Amino acid sequence: MALLAPSPRALCVREAAAAAASPHPHSSAACSTVGGGAAASGRSLWLWSGGGRGRRRERGGRVRAEAYFWDVSKPVEMEEIDSMEKLDDALRWSVENNQAIVIDWMASWCRKCIYLKPRLEKIAGEYPGVRFYFVDVNKVPQAVVKRGNITKMPTIQLWKDGEWKAEVIGGHKAWLVMDEVREMIQKNK
């Protein structure tokens, strides 16, 4: 079962310099207040922009978000690939529809794999044109694992036009893995 955890998304963002110059906190015509949280109470959310993985804060890189809403994308259950035929079918679908597919290579004994699966299902809800699959490496013939060239788990691969395009090996923090998966999908959509 996939978990749906709400996450804030900014509707209206202005740079800190523009926000400071404005006498009214909600003066931008493009902004609208969506109920709840900091926006409704008159407080603003401060976000840090700039390079890096979200930990580095650069001077002058502050951005002000004046309104936000909760992410309402619904998780999509990933399909299981349990044979070479199903892997071939998934790759054939990718070629015929000129769409990317994401394959999560995991094992039932791998805690990190089990932890990442519902988060990948959440990402699947954000990209309706991309199909998401998972392969339990202990339940498939070794030839399937060799075809994916899997050496570590979890490994999340993106395939397009029947060819491997990119992968993320998820041995680090889950939020970093999810950011890298989103980036991988955006680049290869």
From CA 186, how far away is CA 127, in angstroms rounded?
10
Contact 69, 11 (CB under 8 A): yes
| pLDDT computed for residue 60 by the predictor | 52
| pLDDT computed for residue 33 by the predictor | 34
| pLDDT computed for residue 147 by the predictor | 95
| pLDDT computed for residue 61 by the predictor | 54
Contact 64, 14 (CB under 8 A): yes
Q: Are strands 62-70 and 79-80 parallel, antiparallel or unpaired?
A: unpaired
| pLDDT computed for residue 72 by the predictor | 54
Q: Is there a catalytic annotation at residue 113?
A: yes
From the list 19, 110, 130, 156, the catalytic residue is 110
Q: Tens of pLDDT along the chain (189 residues)?
A: 443 444 444 333 444 444 455 454 444 434 333 334 444 344 444 444 444 444 444 445 555 544 444 455 688 999 999 999 999 999 999 999 999 999 999 999 999 999 999 999 999 999 989 999 999 999 999 999 999 999 999 999 999 998 999 999 987 888 889 999 999 999 987
Task: Set out the domains of the chain in order of their start, with CATH numbers.
Answer: 79-187 (3.40.30.10)
The encoded tokens of residue 174 equal 């889950």
- Here the contacts of 73-76 (C-beta below 8 Å, separation 24 or greater) are 73/122, 73/125, 73/126, 74/4, 74/125, 75/2, 75/3, 75/4, 75/118, 75/121, 75/122, 75/124, 75/125, 76/2, 76/121, 76/124, 76/125, 76/132
| pLDDT computed for residue 69 by the predictor | 43
Q: Is there a catalytic annotation at residue 110?
A: yes
| pLDDT computed for residue 92 by the predictor | 96
The b/e string for 80-93 (b: 16+ C-beta within 10 A; e otherwise) is ebeeeebbeebbee
| pLDDT computed for residue 126 by the predictor | 92
From the list 103, 113, 140, 156, the catalytic residue is 113
| pLDDT computed for residue 66 by the predictor | 46
